[in-house]
Structures are given as structure tokens and as C-alpha cells.
């Protein structure tokens, strides 16, 4: 692969900008300054640095962001803060996109990647990559809610949700754990509205077997490895176990 082609795919710079930067000595390959944009490289075997920062040679990039309130997941929202503002420059790529969405007022686990196939695997209902949410309700949890979730709730617009799980977190009256296998627009909020309640806050805490790290501050992100991706695709989090973990953390 050409050096400028590689850097263009893994940074936000244009080919023209990169050619100038390479000529100016801003790029090293295995610690040696390279000034030829067309030099052939082997990204997975060589260490390429741009302005002193390592540019990984992995084919795809996977990022876990602990999304704060007030940020939207779209890249084109005039006047809004977008989640891409929270990604450090060395982790930005032109094709980086959120996997699914969290609305502006929601927080927690948000995956971003340039791997379109993986994104589809996670968001497609048939993949059964479950998503876990902790929500706080305006009014106390009602015992009949759980069965309605299990039966599949019909939303106000007539859309039908596939069966899901929900339970009140022990020791609370209005904090709830929800498990979904799909991701309709504002789904959890609309499901609770269909039951006559209102979601005051929503945090996504897990996808598949990957749980939001408790030591990852709100607004921070980290790069994911292959083992993390396998947790999302192949591991499963037990609903009862997740409920007990939340019970301990809330007590």
C-alpha cells in the first residue's frame, strides 16, 4: 500500500495535505523519516508515525465511548455538540461511524467503527446482540410492565417491538434494567410511554458480553481489541446476573 493512501484512510487529512506533511518530514516508517508519499509500506508489519504519533496498521478501528448527555451521534447537526468531538485526533478516521445511536439526552456505551459489516451484525435484530440499559422512571415501576415487555410492546405509532426483558433494580422503586435485541428510534423511551410512564434518564451499560468499564469516565473513550469484539459478537450477559450486579452497586 502507498504511504499516502494508508494515512488518508486512517486520518482526517486529505491526500494533498498528507503529501505536504510527508515532504516536510512529519512521517516516519520504523523510526526513519520518509519523504516520498508513494513509498510502498506494509502497515501490519511496520510502525508508521505521523507527527510523532503512531498510526495503527489494523484494517479496522473499534472505539468504545462513554457518551455524556448533550451530544448527538450524527456528524451533521448544525449548532449541536457531536460525539466525534470527543474522539482524539489520533483515533479519527474518515469512515468512522457510530454503531447504532444514543439520543442526545442518553448516556453510556457507544461503539464507533469503520467496519461496516460489524456494525450491521450488531444492529441487526436477527444477530441477537443484546443491549442493556439502565433507566430511571418518573413514576414507580409497576409489576405488570415485565410481562408487557416479554409479550412485545406495540408503540403509539403501531410499530411492534420484539419480546424484551425488563425488571426493577432491587432496592429501588423506579430504576430499571432493560434488555433489547433491536434498536428502534427512541425505543426504550417509547416503550415506557406506551405503558404510561416516562423515562427521565437512560444509560446503555452493555452490548453482548461487553460491559461499560466502570473506570472509563463519562466523555472518555478507548480503543477496543479483538477480544472485546468477540465479547460483543459471541458472549452473552445473563439478565439475572446483570440485575444482581446493579443491586450491589446501588446498595
Q: Which helix (H) or strand (E) holds 226?
A: helix 226-234
Residue 112 CA, chain-centre distance (Å), reads 5
Cα separation, 79 vs 68, whole angstroms: 17
User: Is residue 61 within 8 Å of 113, Cβ to Cβ?
Assistant: yes
Catalytic residue among 58, 95, 103, 238: 103
| ∠ Cα 108 109 110 (to 5°) | 115
Element (H, E) at 26: none
The question of whether 151 is a catalytic residue gets the answer no
Contact of 133 with 178, CB cutoff 8 Å: yes
Rg (CA), the chain: 21
Active site residues: 103
Amino acid at each position: 500500500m502507498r504511504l499516502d493512501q494508508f494515512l488518508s484512510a486512517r486520518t482526517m487529512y486529505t491526500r494533498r495535505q498528507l503529501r505536504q506533511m510527508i515532504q516536510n518530514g512529519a512521517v516516519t516508517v520504523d523510526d526513519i523519516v520518509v519523504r516520498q508519499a508513494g513509498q510502498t509500506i506494509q502497515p501490519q508489519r511496520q510502525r508508521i508515525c505521523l507527527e510523532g504519533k503512531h498510526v495503527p496498521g489494523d484494517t479496522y478501528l473499534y472505539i468504545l465511548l462513554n457518551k455524556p448527555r448533550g451530544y448527538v451521534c450524527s456528524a451533521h447537526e448544525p449548532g449541536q455538540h457531536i460525539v466525534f468531538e470527543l474522539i482524539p485526533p489520533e483515533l479519527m478516521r474518515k469512515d468512522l461511524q457510530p454503531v447504532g445511536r444514543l439520543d442526545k439526552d442518553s448516556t453510556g456505551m457507544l461503539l464507533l467503527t469503520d467496519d461496516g459489516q460489524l456494525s450491521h451484525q450488531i444492529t441487526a435484530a436477527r444477530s441477537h446482540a443484546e443491549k442493556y440499559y439502565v433507566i430511571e422512571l418518573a413514576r414507580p415501576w409497576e409489576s405488570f410492565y415485565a410481562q408487557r415487555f416479554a409479550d412485545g410492546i406495540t408503540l403509539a405509532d403501531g410499530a411492534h417491538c420484539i419480546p424484551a426483558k425488563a425488571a426493577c433494580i432491587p432496592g429501588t422503586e423506579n430504576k430499571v434494567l432493560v434488555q433489547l435485541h433491536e434498536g428502534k428510534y427512541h425505543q426504550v423511551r417509547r416503550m415506557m410511554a406506551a405503558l404510561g410512564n416516562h423515562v427521565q434518564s437512560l444509560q446503555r451499560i452493555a452490548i453482548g458480553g461487553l460491559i461499560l468499564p466502570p473506570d472509563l469516565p463519562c466523555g472518555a473513550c478507548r480503543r477496543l481489541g479483538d477480544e472485546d469484539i468477540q465479547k460483543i459478537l459471541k458472549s452473552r450477559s445473563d439478565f439475572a446476573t446483570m440485575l444482581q450486579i446493579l443491586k450491589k452497586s446501588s446498595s
